[in-house]
Structure 1
């Protein structure tokens, strides 16, 4: 027996609003669909034709799942929801490209206290636009109302994606060699990590997200909601460049855990690198927030990316060519260090992270002005 919609609405769940939201987001989602996607929007399951994988000798499927974290709280305060979707896609899909995989498809999940169609549609349009930019099909999703559990303006987002890589092109620590060069790629801002600390600093400084910051040239909310950079498409083009075949050995997405720990995860045990702080200048948003909180930049290296969104560990002899190609793809790129296998004392180094026994990394020197 079907439930009376009006009775369900009295309990706080509006299925009609869900239908409106789907209609508002439908065209944006459809633009991510190529001929591999079957059935369109609205099915119980998303369908993706995997026959293209028959062209691989040994296809490996790569999967990733993530959310945006407490950055959504700032979007909710400002009632600005059109950037959170890109944050979600970046957090998920840019983890997949780290192993050299091409993303195939993604699904999303949004939990909210009250389903406001325009709000949900803005979030999903952002997801769809970022999926389109990264060549990822958005094949399905779910929006769930949780009245009584979440406030009427509260929501959280999560997503999962699947990609594919040929087994003999898999990137990882086993490819890294002595003398490899570590290239850093610039971040667009805070990306989607460390926002609990951001919110703590803002609250302790009695600042509102609508307040204008002369140091940032924008309101705090505008500066903090700058969406996470998307690295997937440019990196895949560089990986597919015949002139640079095999030049990139491993990649690291700088997310939760900070700079050194994330790089250590993609280095083999026994290798080490000192990342030179002098090689870059942290973005103004990091410097200003650090000053507000009374923190040194060095003390924040485990919480924020400080301006590095991705690392590439590359063949030392071809590092210049890779860096030039990354720059041609629009990625700010610089040399951050060199891999060594020589014996040394690892006191002060980060060694592996997230359960991975990896290489050893520490940051040295002072930041550039």
Structure 2
């Protein structure tokens, strides 16, 4: 039996560290941080988020394929901004390597630029750090920083969510950029890794255009998205409660959509418990929008492939999978 903790990642310990950070700074919390802009008389806030792509980079190194990993980097940042209702505007990157390989570096940046195009952001700058002896030959690390803006009256903070609201699932493109330490643990054999690597490198879906389209369509009906949850590490059970009021939970119907076949293949190969699958991967849903029942028809019509996956209920701030 293979679990995320056995692969070297302790989600519960990471949650404790996050709790520590939130106590140190009240501005920390949620999918992104907001800072009111005084010059706008409190009408707008800046929103910022930072992230990386984790050990998915190891697969890029294995295949020597570096043209899409930058899309993942942008996606992990801008998708978090969306959860606050923000419009992404600028992006910065940090690219560190032991020795600069110009051809490879150009491919990485091309991926970042494509991610910025999809995420409606401008690559405003960044840092390239050449650090001899710090990284293995041919390896590098990436971090991204996204900044946007939101009208305070349109901020998504979950306060308007109530029992009976509906969960709309937006499909993922695969594993996105989470759970790769567990994936690599299961596919430890190099030949097995090579067999699956190309499919595993499918870029993370960027939801900027989808969310903009959805909110525009709903506003025409005098409705709006009430909350958005980006399904990353810790899966649906770990991310959906973050956007719900403390007195509300959610019921998610597992057979409302088809879990990607590659996820079930991996589960079988590694004998991964079902609970660990849901706590580690997005299971085919990369973003969840919470809407009123009256907005469901418009939401499903607007976003191809979206599906009703559950509802908000009174009770403990947790997800029940049924």
Asked if these proteins are the same fold (TM beyond 0.5), I'd say yes
Q: How many residues are treated as equivalent by the alignment?
A: 284
Report whether the alignment pairs 1:187 with 2:172: yes
Task: Provide the rounded CA distance (Å) in 2 between the counterparts of 1:360 and 1:316.
Answer: 21
Aligned alpha-carbon RMSD (Å) = 1.8
- The equivalent of 1:47 in structure 2 is none
Task: Provide the rounded CA distance (Å) in 1 between the counterparts of 2:192 and 2:216.
Answer: 45
Task: Provide the rounded CA distance (Å) in 1 between the counterparts of 2:221 and 2:54.
Answer: 36
Task: Provide the rounded CA distance (Å) in 1 between the counterparts of 2:191 and 2:209.
Answer: 37
Residue pair 1:244, 1:322 contacting (<8 A) in 2 also: no
- The equivalent of 1:78 in structure 2 is 63
- The equivalent of 1:356 in structure 2 is none
Residue pair 2:184, 2:193 contacting (<8 A) in 1 also: no
Deviation at 1:209? 3.0
Residue pair 1:100, 1:239 contacting (<8 A) in 2 also: no
- The equivalent of 1:88 in structure 2 is 73
Deviation at 1:299? 2.8
Task: Provide the rounded CA distance (Å) in 2 between the counterparts of 1:262 and 1:222.
Answer: 27
- State how 1:234-249 maps to structure 2 within 5 Å: 234-241=210-217, 242-249=219-226
**Of 193, 207, 214, the match for 2:191:** 207
- The equivalent of 2:277 in structure 1 is 300
- The equivalent of 1:227 in structure 2 is 203
SS for the counterpart of 1:209 is helix
C-alpha spacing 1:206/1:143, structure 2 compared with 1 (3 Å): closer
- Which structure is larger by alpha-carbon Rg, 1 or 2? 1
**Of 298, 302, 322, the match for 1:321:** 298
Q: Which structure has the higher relative contact order (CA within 8 Å, separation 6+)?
A: 2
Report whether the alignment pairs 1:287 with 2:238: no
* Structure 2: 5+ residue stretches without partners: 1-37
**Of 133, 147, 150, the match for 2:132:** 147
SS for the counterpart of 2:232 is coil
Deviation at 1:298? 3.6
Task: Provide the rounded CA distance (Å) in 1 between the counterparts of 2:145 and 2:223.
Answer: 28
**Of 68, 72, 90, the match for 1:105:** 90
Task: Provide the rounded CA distance (Å) in 2 between the counterparts of 1:152 and 1:114.
Answer: 7
Residue pair 1:114, 1:151 contacting (<8 A) in 2 also: no
Task: Provide the rounded CA distance (Å) in 2 between the counterparts of 1:168 and 1:322.
Answer: 21
1:81-116 Cα offsets, whole Å, 9 max, x none, are: 001000000000110011111001010001111100
- State how 1:16-27 maps to structure 2 within 5 Å: none
Report whether the alignment pairs 1:361 with 2:306: no
C-alpha spacing 1:54/1:232, structure 2 compared with 1 (3 Å): farther
- The equivalent of 1:262 in structure 2 is 239
Task: Provide the rounded CA distance (Å) in 1 between the counterparts of 2:311 and 2:91.
Answer: 35
1:135-175 Cα offsets, whole Å, 9 max, x none, are: 10100011111111111211010010111111111112101
Task: Provide the rounded CA distance (Å) in 2 between the counterparts of 1:246 and 1:317.
Answer: 8
* Structure 1: 5+ residue stretches without partners: 1-52, 212-219, 347-358, 365-369
Deviation at 1:56? 9.3
TM-score where L is the length of structure 2: 0.84
Deviation at 1:245? 4.2
Report whether the alignment pairs 1:67 with 2:52: yes
C-alpha spacing 1:174/1:119, structure 2 compared with 1 (3 Å): same
Task: Provide the rounded CA distance (Å) in 1 between the counterparts of 2:100 and 2:221.
Answer: 48
